[in-house]
Amino acid sequence: MKHIFVVNPISGKADASLYLVPKLIDAAGAAGLSYTVELTRHRGHATELARQYGESGEAVRLYACGGDGTLNEVFFGAYPYENLEVASVPCGSGNDFVRSFGEAEEFLDLADNIAGTAVTIDLAAVNGGVSAAICSVGMDSEVAYNIPKYRRLPLCGGQMAYTLSIVERILKPIGQKVRITIDGNVLTGNYLICTVCNGVAYGGGYFAAPCADLQDGILDVILVKKMSRLRAVQVLGKYKLGQHLKDGVVAPEFADIMEYRKAKNILIEPLEKPEMIVNLDGECGPAPVLDAQIMPHAARFVLPAAVYSRFAAENAVAAAW
């Protein structure tokens, strides 16, 4: 098997081509791998590289070295090809996809990652692309969309940029009127956040879907209705920790403003504007709809050796029950 390290040099806080590539070379050499390091040069390049290796027909493991956006691009290019499997070296700003299996640090153990085992996972087809973790519309996606403009300010790092974007958004009218079609059932209302979840987390550690399972062939949908700004601040704190759901249902204190559904198909359409900001695995931009369908067992994802051992043991216990 060939091992291809797809490195996004502008992901995260430092140039990965300077600090990460030497580590990749050392780890690959120590493992005796047949390997190549590929640096991405533009948006979509990781997808192009994945398709190139897919069309070769050879067995290839693609390591997405970057954030969730880089991983999304690699999945998008790789999933149609049975000869490809995808691994993650999470060195971006959010690194949320791997939270479905463990901590980012476990995936940064390169020797363990190289010794890992691939498992099948679901993806979601969304707006002509794919989502591995979570896609959404509402206040969360609008906050993320505005962060880059604050990062350009002097002395304004990632957390400060995020805080300023939240303050800006909370001062504007909150909530938007949308039509939501969930497996043919139609809802209309004014919502603060609508998330469509394959994985458990997004936004740098917001556990929107703590019950989500990447292998169950279903999407978790969390709908948060419009509310006062004061209550929104209170709700978002517990939403981040995943405390809005208990034992697979909405916690009683949120029952009046939150709905939790399971779905295979979901369509969200704005009713007052021609477009809305859509978040797709951390990448945000305007779109006329959010249109998502589950793709069961669409991709193969590599779990580092220690993570795979824990995953296999947990699955064996679940099967015994």
Instruction: For residues 53 and 65, give the distance between their C-alpha atoms in angstroms, rounded to a whole number.
Output: 16
pLDDT score of 155: 62
pLDDT digits (tens, 9 = 90+) for 227-259: 988 898 888 889 999 999 998 899 999 999 999
pLDDT digits (tens, 9 = 90+) for 18-62: 889 999 999 999 999 999 999 999 999 999 999 999 999 999 999
Q: What is the pTM of this model?
A: 0.92
Number of residues that make up the chain: 321
pLDDT score of 157: 56
pLDDT lower than 70: segments of the chain:
12-14, 151-152, 155-162, 317-321
The DSSP annotation for 50-101 comes to HHHHHHH-S-EEEEEEESHHHHHHHHHHHTT-TTEEEEEEE-SS---GGGGT
Backbone angles phi and psi of 312, in degrees to 5:
-65, -40
pLDDT score of 10: 84
pLDDT score of 92: 85
Indicate the DSSP class of residue 202: B
pLDDT score of 126: 98
